[in-house]
Amino acid sequence: MKKNYEKIVLTILFFLVIFNSFMIIKERNYNSSYSDNNISVKQVSNHLYQISRENHNTFSDEINQVRSYIKEHNEKLGTSYEIDYYSQTFQEFVQNYIDEISKEARKSGIKLSKENIDEQAENISKMYNIKDSKKIIEHQSILVKIDQKNTEDAILLMAHYDNANIGTGAGDDGLAVASLLETIRVLKNNKENKNDVYILFTDDEETTGEGASRFIKNNKDLKNNIKLVINFEARGVSGSTLMFESSKNNYNLIKNYLKGSTYSTVFSFATAVYGHMPNSSDLSKFLDAGYNGLNFAVLGKPYAYHTVDDSFDNVKLKTINEYAKTTYDMAIYFSNIDLNSLTSDDQATVFNFVPGKVIFLSQKLVNIFSLIIIFLSMLWTINLKKLKKYTAKEFLETFKNIWLITLKNGIFAFLTTIIPTIFWLIIVIGEYPSNKLITILIELLFIFQLILISKFTLKGLIKRIKSKEAYISNLTLGYIIFTILTLLFLQGGVYLFSIPLALITLYSIYETYLMRSCLNSIIAKSIFIIVFGVVVIPFILLLFLCLLMSLPIMVLPLLCMLVSFFFMTIYILHKND
């Protein structure tokens, strides 16, 4: 009876932790109580409607309407603006495009062949239906300045006003443009700002990023003045506004971001992972040029990204509310602090533990903590062997079984991923589902895989794992390896493995010497589930979102193997000798 009661409590707690993780990446409910002195969410919504009525890619006639709207808005407010104008032939554009995708491919360790490059050049011509290679393409980036007396220090707020060749760009990047237009009104009326504020609306981001590149080249004199660049992007049309990328040595920068934001969604592993993904934004150009920077985006409903679903009707008012409020928070806060205080020689480790609230730590301290935990965990594993809690034979047998189960789960996930993919590409010849349907299918596939993998893992562990201490020692070894690897290659995510490593070690010590009652057992296991779930589950959710956005579908088996290993960690709480 006691064991059943314990399982019920822990199961409920586990699902509450999962629910908390989903809420972290969801946007807040719309709050209409903001005063007229603050940002007007309804006005942002009106701007967004006007901007995203039609497709306005960089080669379209409709992009001129968006340019005019931005200019007219500033003229009504009485704010001055400058035009960073440039033109190029379509042939020159294609060459710039090829150079850009080749650079991104090299960043991911991929070398494009000549055939692949020629194919890309042909595709871009077909995509925008341009047959004359000598056609002149005109681009304009619009720079607005809110000037303050007695200072040259400045921040740069940025969004791009072109959209992809499909959809009307309500999320990418109309939401950011609309929020910045309203932010300009607020800044214009705020006479107490201490720093200059530049607002840059770039062109040509969706293709080559040439708008941002040209601005940097043409305004080298501003490099010493602009202390921070804040870019606003989108990889979907809903969800919480995630700070997903920053410049290096960002400890003080992130510290100030957290002070200035009323609702923070940020994970340091996201910045670490994004740096290895084949993506770039306008901020990438500024980071490469040595600027400090922050990058924000919504990630919800990623199937809408660069599709017809990226439209005004699919952007909810609560999404506009949170995005606009984040834009407002960043503009007001960073325009009123000492921008020279943002420099640091340390990185930040940061992650949400509940919606809007974060754990903020020094990366150096986390690295030291991780090394200490590795050392102490190894000592405890050796101690368990000295206490004769397991034999060398049991350790080796358990090692074989754990990794055999993980490998089998990976093979199962691979087969259940590759077979439907081949079926669709070969059997359903020439017909492709919408991005929305693809997303739904991948989500259902992942759920199906998780259910069966959980079942396979549990069944395999019950049958094959005899010694709990040998099992804990092998999991400890696994987490030590993962911790070392992330310390070497992905430091922003090292906490994802060092914290579970510490949990496993502390739980094992507690169970060996202190656990004497059912109540103590429930308390210890509850703490384990809460801390483990808060650290790991948001990571799984965001990594899955990255998979839906741009990672290859075959990353899904690797994600399933990782989930399988995490599931084995939870099994500690139910394993009894």
Closest CA to 174 of 198, 145, 205, 143: 205
State the Cα–Cα distance between residues 479 and 376, nearest whole angstrom: 13
**CATH architecture observed for domain 42-354:** 3-Layer(aba) Sandwich (3.40)
Is residue 37 pLDDT above 60, yes or no? no
Question: Of residues 512 and 201, which shows the higher confidence score?
Answer: 201
> Contact at 8 Å (CB) between 183 and 331?
yes
Cα–Cα dist 84/90, whole Å: 19
Q: Could you please report the per-residue DSSP string of 339-371?
A: GGGG--SS-EEEEEEETBEEEEEEHHHHHHHHH
CA dihedral 69, 65, 324, 240 (to 10 degrees): 180
Whole-angstrom Cα Rg for the chain:
26
Closest CA to 215 of 129, 295, 116, 286: 286
Q: Which residues lie closer than 8 Å to 92 by C-beta, 6 or more apart?
A: none
Question: In this predicted structure, what is the pLDDT of residue 431?
Answer: 46
Residues 6 or more apart from 556 whose CB is under 8 A from it?
A: 413, 417, 442, 445, 446, 449, 547
Local structure of residue 28 (DSSP, 8 states): P
Output the six-digit token pair for 339: 């921008």
Classify each residue of 244-257 as buried b or exposed e, where b means 16 or more C-beta atoms within 10 Å of its C-beta.
bbbbebbbbbbbbb
Residue 168 phi, psi (nearest 5): -110, 5
> How many Cβ atoms from other residues are within 10 Å of residue 406's Cβ?
21
State the Cα–Cα distance between residues 196 and 153, nearest whole angstrom. Answer: 6
Q: Is residue 80 helix, strand or coil?
A: coil
pLDDT digits (tens, 9 = 90+) for 519-530: 677 888 889 999
Cα dihedral across residues 188, 192, 196, 199: positive or negative: negative
**How many CB atoms within 10 Å of residue 94?**
20
Query: Smallest Cα–Cα separation from 211: which of 107, 87, 81, 92?
Result: 87
Q: pLDDT at position 59, please?
A: 87
> Could you report the per-residue pLDDT of 107-155, keeping only the tens digit for each?
666 676 767 767 777 777 777 777 777 778 888 999 999 998 888 999 9
Q: Give the strand pairing for 154-160 and 226-232.
A: parallel
DSSP 228-284: EEEEE--SSSEEEEEEEEE-SS-HHHHHHHHHH-SSB-BBHHHHHHHTTSS---HHH
Residues 294/425, Cβ–Cβ less than 8 Å: no
State the pLDDT confidence band at 432, using cuts at 50, 70 and 90.
Answer: very low
* Domain boundaries defined on the chain: 2-23+364-571, 42-354
- 245 pairs with which residues across the strands? 295
187-216 per-position pLDDT tens digit:
998 878 899 999 999 999 998 888 999 999
Query: DSSP character for 389?
Result: S
Q: How many helices (H) does the chain have, and how many strands (E)? A: 18, 9
Q: Which residue has the higher pLDDT, 257 or 34?
A: 257
Residues 253-270 pLDDT 10s: 999 999 999 889 999 998
Instruction: State the pLDDT at residue 351.
Output: 96
Most confident of 113-122, 427-436, 533-542: 533-542
Give the pLDDT confidence of 437-461 residue by residue, as tens digits: 777 777 778 888 888 888 888 777 7
